Amino acid sequence: MTIGTYEKINEYSSVKISLASTDDIKNKSYGEVKKPETINYRTYRAEKDGLFCERIFGPERNWECFCGKYKGIKHKGIVCDRCGVKVTHSRVRRKRMG
């Protein structure tokens, strides 16, 4: 890494932070959390419609839906008809809002 990379850090004169409007929140949302449950204590998997729901936030495992019908990158982008989870990389869980 070069020394010049960090020279522009202090060039900002101000930063503006504001609350998101209800329309912004609805546009970025992927679903509604309907239950307060998080993880099933027997299976250690996310509860459906809960705070860690894979249908809303994305799959826990890379390229695999919740029920396991679709596994592998060859099914990329498919939404499972059983569980409703889109087959994608698990990194999307960090960016999605419910």
pTM, 2 dp: 0.75
- Is pLDDT above 60 for 22? yes
The ranges assigned to domains in the chain are 22-98
- Is pLDDT above 60 for 1? no
Per-residue buried b or exposed e for 11-47, using 16+ beta carbons within 10 Å of the residue's own CB: eeeeeeeeeeeeeeeeeeeeeebeeebeeeeeeeebb
The residue to which tokens 């999605």 are assigned:
96
Quick one: how far is CA 26 from the chain centroid?
15
- Is pLDDT above 70 for 6? no
pLDDT in tens, 51-86: 999 999 999 999 999 999 999 999 999 999 999 999
